[in-house]
Amino acid sequence: MSDAASEPSLRALAPGLTPEIVAAVSKICRVQDLILVAQKCRVVTKFRNTIGLEKRLSTRLQPNHPTDDPTGIAASIVDGLMYGSGDAVIGINPATDSIAAVTTLIEMLDEIIRRYAIPTQSCILTHVTTSIEAINRGAPIDLVFQSIAGTEAANSSFGVNLAILQEGREAALGLQRGTVGDDVMYFETGQGSALSANAHHGVDQQTLEARAYAVARKFKPLLVNTVVGFIGPEYLYDGRQIVRAGLEDHFCGKLLGVPMGCDICYTNHAEADQNDMDVLLTLLAAAGVSFIMGIPGSDDIMLNYQTTSFHDALYARKVLGLRPAPEFEDWLKTMGIFEQDESVRLADSLPKPFQRALAHLH
Amino acid sequence: MTNDKHVIVGADPWNKLRRYTPARIALGHAGTSMPTKPHLEFQLAHARARDAVHHELDIPALQGALQSRGYETILLHSSAESRPHYLQRPDKGRRLDADSHATLEASPRPAEPYDVVFVIGDGLSALAIEENAAKFLDAIMPSLVKDGWRMAPLSIVKEARVAVGDEVGAALGAKMVVILIGERPGLSSPDSMGIYMTLNPRVAVTDESRNCISNIRPGASATDHAAHRLLYLMTEARRRGLSGVKLKDEAAALPKAGPESADNFLIDER
């Protein structure tokens, strides 16, 4: 990368880049190029806090539960908040996408965020049409989620098209729930989704992945992340391939101007383990990834895969001097979850409001 | 979290929340890192989940269990030849092999098409099928018989992916297919079963035409709840002539069982 490529010039260039261009460039990059270039691209987005600033690393608190049990979910939320997780979003993958179940969960998250004055946003990762229907019935939805892919046929296999995504965005914008910004969309992607739906037209999975970011870019998202090792070994066989793909995806997204995070993950049928995830986490944190996932002990008991833990995010912050979103960081210090100084240290006791909430439990 | 300088691993003062979720919460911390004990427990769970992926479905035992309940069974195989082949080639797991086609071609047809065929596939966890499939059928079959559903013989498919069910349904000329399949094993759940329902099954149906109920395990989404929801989805799919994303799961909730569904301590007024 030339010394003339600066943060402002890359930002100015982004709208002119097509996904095919950035995918092609990524293919001639070594790992260090993928890191160096991505680290220069700054994509800042806002809803109730500010994500993507320099030297910041945000986390999605992912308190999934196999039966969507509200108390079980709340227990994981406490665990995450006390480890400083949740500034990107508190986002639940529901076990069922019934409108009633989704509405119950979104109302609970809304109440928790208001009650404890947490500067963050909530999301239930259900189909966009379910979110639209829930909004029509009055549900307090912050972010509208959708999985997207890089071909029209693959998106149609997900039951979406550009018009439906636009409808979802407008429904969320209509609620005007953001305080510092109005970026209301959350998208997930992953190499192999088009091939898996037999909708790839013979194109390689990495180019199609970059095309998904161009779909995302159209809708001014707050968050976009690749779920890099989720689909399985038929697409990314082992740790080595997952690491390379995670860095390529982040590079392509950032170059296109997308607020790129990464679900650094693997499944139990892939040839990968925690060591591979540590490598990718460290490299992505060096590359300035906007956010990663946070889950109790790396074990998603609902989706049956392993992603980064609350502890993992603190490791990355410690090693690279990264901090949470500024509004959320203030909240952590005010609540006494993090120590007041600049070090990454957990405080000694539960904050008062949480002590009160737990006091009645046996 | 403690001020005692001699304590290396700090405990988390929300330990008592562990009874409300199987998630790995309140693990404690050494500095900000995961302590050795939960780390080693994780490594053991990972090894067990890896074993589940490679566990082979005990066909004679499953057939025995089903036949003792009076079900007729057909044994089929996908075109994936082995487990390693299956893991690397999902497309092979979505299609039947030639012998299985011949078996279905040769099977007798009723004068009127079957309303539904139930398919049982090993998927990524044969363990899930061994532990959940027969129990689930016990929960749903009485209602289906009562409502007059005409059902094809149960088809058992080895090395199966979800979409292979559609090919079975199409080959038997059934109006609907329901596949029970082993989900990919999680660290804490090597035995989780999923159910997918498609109306008018045919080869090359994609995911937007399917409805899914996931995480069926002893102790998780109780079998009765899953049967209740599947019955709702099947009945509505047949009545409205559609399945998949256009058919939302609006089954009335059954009363919840167990202590998990206590009040929500974070937001309830006390």
Q: What is the per-residue pLDDT for B221?
A: 55
B4 - beta bridge partners? none
Contacts of B243 (CB under 8 A, 6+ apart): B176, B197, B198, B199, B200, B209, B210, B211, B233, B237
pLDDT at B258 over 60: no
b/e per residue A290-323 (b: at least 16 CB within 10 A): bbbbbbbbbbbbbbbbbbbbbbbbbbbbeeeebb
pLDDT at B69 over 60: yes
Say whether B265 and A71 touch across the interface (CB within 8 A).
Answer: yes
Mean pLDDT of all residues in chain A? 95
Q: What is the per-residue pLDDT for B255?
A: 54
SS3 B91: helix
Asked whether residue B261 is assigned to any structural domain, the reply reads: no
Q: Would the pTM of this model clear 0.95, i.e. be above it?
A: no
Asked whether residue B54 is assigned to any structural domain, the reply reads: no
On chain A, the residues whose CB falls within 8 A of the CB of B183 are 304
| CA nearest to B30 within chain A | A311
- Tell me, what CATH number does B202's domain have? 3.40.50.11240
Among A116, A311, A348, select the one facing B34 at the smallest CB separation.
A311
Mean pLDDT of all residues in chain B? 89
On chain B, the residues whose CB falls within 8 A of the CB of A302 are 215
- Choose the CATH number for A13-343 among 3.40.50.720, 3.20.20.70, 2.60.40.3140, 3.40.50.300: 3.20.20.70
- Please tell me the least confidently modeled range out of A116-125, A266-275, B48-57, B256-265: B256-265
Say whether B12 and A82 touch across the interface (CB within 8 A).
Answer: yes
Asked whether residue B49 is assigned to any structural domain, the reply reads: no
On chain A, the residues whose CB falls within 8 A of the CB of B262 are 71
Among B45, B184, B264, select the one facing A108 at the smallest CB separation.
B264
Q: How far does B220 lie from chain A, in Å, by closest CA?
A: 6
Is the CB of B3 inside 8 Å of chain A's CB atoms? yes
Q: What is the pLDDT of residues B169-214, one digit of tens each?
A: 999 999 999 999 999 898 988 888 999 999 999 987 777 889 999 8
Say whether B245 and A127 touch across the interface (CB within 8 A).
Answer: yes
CB A21 within 8 Å of CB A266 = no
Say whether B16 and A158 touch across the interface (CB within 8 A).
Answer: no
Confidence band, pLDDT 50/70/90 cuts, at residue B257:
very low
Element (H, E) at A51: strand A50-51
Q: What is the pLDDT of residues B135-172, one digit of tens each?
A: 999 999 999 999 999 999 999 999 999 999 999 999 99
Q: What is the pLDDT of residues B75-125, one digit of tens each?
A: 999 999 999 899 989 889 999 999 999 999 999 889 999 999 999 999 999
Is the CB of B207 inside 8 Å of chain A's CB atoms? yes
Q: What is the per-residue pLDDT for B263?
A: 65
Query: Closest Cα to residue A102, out of A144, A62, A134, A71?
Result: A134
Is the CB of B36 inside 8 Å of chain A's CB atoms? no
pLDDT at B259 over 90: no
SS3 B197: strand
Averaged pLDDT for residues B233-242: 93
Say whether B1 and A108 touch across the interface (CB within 8 A).
Answer: no
* Number of domains chain B contains: 1
Q: What is the per-residue pLDDT for B4?
A: 52
DSSP B185: P
Mean pLDDT by 10 residues, chain A (362 residues): 92 97 98 97 98 98 94 97 97 90 95 97 97 96 98 96 98 98 98 90 97 98 97 92 98 98 96 97 98 97 94 97 97 91 81 91 77
pLDDT at B46 over 50: yes
- What are the residue ranges of helices labelled H in chain A? 7-13, 19-27, 31-40, 70-82, 99-115, 128-136, 152-157, 162-175, 193-196, 205-217, 239-255, 274-286, 310-320, 326-335, 352-359
Among B32, B187, B250, select the one facing A306 at the smallest CB separation.
B187
Domain definitions of chain A by residue range = 13-343
Domain range holding B161?
Answer: 59-240
Q: What is the per-residue pLDDT for A36?
A: 97
Query: Closest Cα to residue B213, out of B139, B127, B264?
Result: B139
ipTM summary value: 0.95
On chain B, the residues whose CB falls within 8 A of the CB of A338 are none
Asked whether residue B201 is assigned to any structural domain, the reply reads: yes
Say whether B53 and A269 touch across the interface (CB within 8 A).
Answer: yes
Q: What is the per-residue pLDDT for B2?
A: 47
